Each structure stands twice: as C-alpha cells, then as structure tokens.
Amino acid sequence: MTAGHDGPPRPRRSRIAWIGFCAGCLTVVALGVAPYPAPSGGAPPCATDHELTIATSSDVSSGSFRRDVVDEWNRRAGTTMKAKLVEISDSTDEERAEMAAAAQSQDCAYDILILDVAWTAEFARNGHLRPLSPGSGPGVPFLEKALTTTEVDGVRYAVPFATNAPLLFRREGLPAPGTPGELLRLAAEHGYAGQLADYEGGTVNLLEMVLSGGAEVLDGDEVVLDRPDDAREAGEALAAWQAALSRRTGADALSLKEESSLQAFRSRQAGYLRNWPFAFHRLASDPAMRDGDGLRFAVGPLPGTGVLGGSNLAVTSRSPDAAEAERLIAFLTTPQTQKKLFACGGYPPVVESVYDDYRVRPRTCGELLAEGDPEAGRPDPDGEITAGQLRLFADAVRLAVRRAWPRPPAVHYSTFSEVFRSCARQVVDGALDAGELDFPRFSGALREALDGRRPEHDPCRRPTGR
C-alpha cells in the first residue's frame, strides 16, 4: 500500500479505515445475533369476503355432522354472515402443516381454525391467533380440563369445541380391569389393540403407559423423567407392556392406528380396545357388534391415566370478521349444538351441562334432529344408538376426561412428541431393553425438544465407548 502524495490525507484515510472496520464488525455481530430471516411482515390487511371460512380436518369418519351444524348456522334467522368448512385432509399432520403455512404466509384464507388441543399454544405464541374478547363463548361452564387447553400465558385464545379422552372397550363377557396392572394381565390374556404406530397417536398411547405406571414425565414445564423413581417406573411400565403385547398380538400391535385397531377389535383379534370416543358410535351402530337393542361390548374409562385430546375453536389473527367469527364459535358451543354433535357425530361435549342432561334425560340423535326438522329425524328402528347407551357413553367420557392428563402446552410439542416416541416405542417394540434406555440422556433430549431442537445423536442409548 503506497501513500502517495496524490492520495487523501492520512487523518482522513485513517478515519475511513476506522469507519470501515467498525461497520464490518458491527454488521457481522448484528447479523449473528439475529440468525433467522424475519417473517415477511407488513402484509396488507385482509378484506372481508362476507363469509366465515373454517379450516378443519376431514369430517367423513364421523358422519360429517359438523357440516350439519354449520348448515344450521347458515339457515338460522339472524345470521348475517354464512360459514363454510374447508376440510383439509384426513391426516392431522397435513392439517397442521396447511394451517401453519397459511398463517405464516399471512394468507387471508381462514377466519376460524379447528385446532387440535396440542397445537393451540404453538399457534397462539406465534401470533397466528387473536385473543378472544372477554365473555366470548356461550356463557356456560365448560369442562375444566378442556378449558385449560385454550389459555396460553394467561390469555384465552380459543374455546373448546370437542374433548377427547381414551376409553377402554371390551368384548362382552370379559372382565373390566380396575387398575393398569389388571389391564396388563388381561391384555396379555385376551389381546389388546391400541394405537402404537409411529405417529402422534403412538406418542399418546406410550405416554399413557408411562403415566399409568406411576411415572411423571413433566412437572410443569420441566422434564422430570430422569428422577430415579420416575425413570424406574417408566422403564418397568414400558417393559411390562412389551411383554404383554408380545404374548398375544405380536408385531402387528405396533402398526395399529385408530381405524386398524378398531377393526382388530371387531374381528376378535383383540378382546380389549383402547380408542377415542369416536369408536363408540362406530361400534354401537355396527350390526355385528349389536345384539338386538343391546351391545356386544362394554365401555369405560381407560384404567390409569389417559392423555387429553380434543379440538379448540380459534379466530385467526388476520380475520377481518373476528366479531362475527366469535358469534359463530358461541353457536357451535351452545349446549344444543353440543348435544347434537355428541348424539349424532360422536363428538364428546365440552359443556358440563350436556353431561348432566344426559344423566337425567338422555336423547337420541333422531329425537334431537326431529326437534328442529321433523323430516330429518327418521330414526331407523333397526339400529339407532339408544338413549340409555348414550347415557352410559356420556358417563364414561366424563370420567375419562376428569382423569386425563393434558399434553404440555409447548410451541415445539411436535418435536417433543417425536423424541419421546422414538425411544419409548423401541422399548415396547422390543428393539431396546428397558434397562438400556438411558433416562438422563433421554430426558436431556426431551428438554432440548421442548425448545425445538432435535437430537443429533441417538437420544435413547448411552454412546458405546471403546
């Protein structure tokens, strides 16, 4: 570098050098502090299309009764804005991905989301949901457990729509297990169908096995599975299930999902079925599972601890019709609508009074439909689920919900779920001995997963030394 007399004076060059140095240094440090590209903000506000669009999963398996209640909203007097369901997919993973992608791209596609309870925190914390105005909802008491899933950081973002808790179905003549230990024994003896395939349903079933075995997975937001007692109980529970399932149902037990497990129960491959409440309507309306007006199966809450499921209704943060959307949500959660969804569609109600009513005056789907539309209510004498059966079903669901454990309201719940399942499933599968499951390492991976980090190495086993 030459400093010819033609060049700029030295003090000025020195100043330029310092400015360049500082600018370079600060730029790199500033970019390093903000590693992610910020989401593209500043999208223009959405204009109303004078219609409320509700994003949801496919509704075919439940008789599509949600469409009927939306249709009822559209036809009722006083409705100023009609509603439309957009059914995304049968797959809950695809449903979540589509909703999240639409929200991230600041799309105006949806006004209301029917969210799985496990996703509400993620959508709320990412700013995709609008806090509900105080007093929204039908003004009736909800099930407390269901209501807890709608609040995130002390703010209510959603209203419960349908709750879910595991039920245990058993073929007629088989004893009802009172404890998880008894269930294990009977499962080994008569066959058991749960949902242990590699998907979210598998996580739920595995969590239930661990929790019912006496272990705690989380204490508040903290993973505590590496506490010695919890680790021991979790390992024993998973090992016991591995033994029970391998005795009777073999490798197929690990590939079952909701529908396939229901079919295994119907076809007598399993004497006991763990499933969600939707299965009651399917089985109770199946001629092969009926005996005249009676049922060839019994139902009750799953012994031990179940995992709470269900769905919430939430208004998207970009909806231009939020007030009208809240009115629709209030309609969908009135006791009358919830009763129809329960009796006709098999959706467990979220309103306390519906359960109370079913104890005193249970009513069938046909009776409820006939109230509003005599043409619609044509109960088929050959196969309708009776009022008494619905009362027993309602009691079982209520009890199951009271016992259920809510999944952690974490933004990265899906990562937590994948990591938990990856290890626990290996034990139940027999691919990993319970004694080899490294609980401190596993718990560390679960903590990282709650922050959204996936393990780079095997989270289940100790690294093999030389």
Q: Which of residues 372-411 bind other proteins (CB under 8 A)?
A: 375, 378-384, 411
Q: Which is nearer to other proteins, 243 or 251 (CB)?
A: 251
Burial category of 21 from C-beta neighbours within 10 Å (exposed 0-12, middle 13-18, buried 19 and up): exposed
Q: Which is nearer to other proteins, 153 or 380 (CB)?
A: 380
CB 290 within 8 Å of CB 210 = no
Distance of alpha carbon 192 from alpha carbon 173, whole angstroms: 15
Distance of alpha carbon 434 from alpha carbon 424, whole angstroms: 9
Please report, as residue ranges, which positions from 289 to 308 form the binding site for other proteins (by CB under 8 A): none
Q: Which of 48, 49, 76, 84 binds other proteins (CB under 8 A)?
A: 84
Q: What is the DSSP letter of 312?
A: E
Q: Which is nearer to other proteins, 100 or 140 (CB)?
A: 100
Buried b (16+ CB within 10 A) or exposed e, 83-121: bebebbeeebeebbebbbebbeebebbbbbbbbbbbbbb
Distance of alpha carbon 256 from alpha carbon 266, whole angstroms: 14
Return the biggest CA–CA distance within the chain: 109
Q: Which of 226, 259, 352, 367 binds other proteins (CB under 8 A)?
A: 259
Please report, as residue ranges, which positions from 309 to 328 form the binding site for other proteins (by CB under 8 A): none
Task: Please choose, out of 167-175, 208-216, 241-249, 284-292, the segment that lies near other proteins by the rule CB under 8 A.
Answer: 284-292
Buried b (16+ CB within 10 A) or exposed e, 360-383: eebbbbbebbbeeeeeeeeeeeee
Task: Please choose, out of 19-27, 179-187, 230-238, 311-319, the segment that lies near other proteins by the rule CB under 8 A.
Answer: 19-27
Cα angle for residues 138, 144, 145 (degrees, 5° grid) = 120
Task: Please choose, out of 153-161, 230-238, 303-311, 453-461, the segment that lies near other proteins by the rule CB under 8 A.
Answer: 453-461
Q: Which of 36, 41, 77, 80 binds other proteins (CB under 8 A)?
A: 36
Q: Which is nearer to other proteins, 234 or 299 (CB)?
A: 299
Q: What is the DSSP letter of 343?
A: I
Please report, as residue ranges, which positions from 115 to 154 form the binding site for other proteins (by CB under 8 A): 122, 126
Q: Are strands 294-295 and 290-291 parallel, antiparallel or unpaired?
A: antiparallel
Residue in this structure with the two tokens 């007692």, named with its chain if needed: 229
Q: Which is nearer to other proteins, 142 or 358 (CB)?
A: 358
CB of 55 to other proteins, least distance (A): 9
Please report, as residue ranges, which positions from 349 to 368 form the binding site for other proteins (by CB under 8 A): 365-366
**DSSP line for 63-123:** TTHHHHHHHHHHHSTT--SEEEEEE--S-HHHHHHHHHHHHHTT--S-SEEEEEGGGHHHH
Please report, as residue ranges, which positions from 166 to 185 form the binding site for other proteins (by CB under 8 A): none
144 CA to centre of own chain? 17
Q: Which of 49, 94, 229, 356 binds other proteins (CB under 8 A)?
A: 94
Task: Please choose, out of 97-105, 135-143, 150-158, 239-247, the segment that lies near other proteins by the rule CB under 8 A.
Answer: 97-105
Three-state DSSP class for residue 369: helix
Q: Which of 100, 140, 176, 399 binds other proteins (CB under 8 A)?
A: 100
Q: Which of 28, 155, 323, 431 binds other proteins (CB under 8 A)?
A: 28
Q: Which is nearer to other proteins, 205 or 305 (CB)?
A: 205
Residue 83 interacting with other proteins (CB under 8 A): yes
Please report, as residue ranges, which positions from 197 to 216 form the binding site for other proteins (by CB under 8 A): 197
Q: Which of 192, 448, 459, 460 binds other proteins (CB under 8 A)?
A: 448
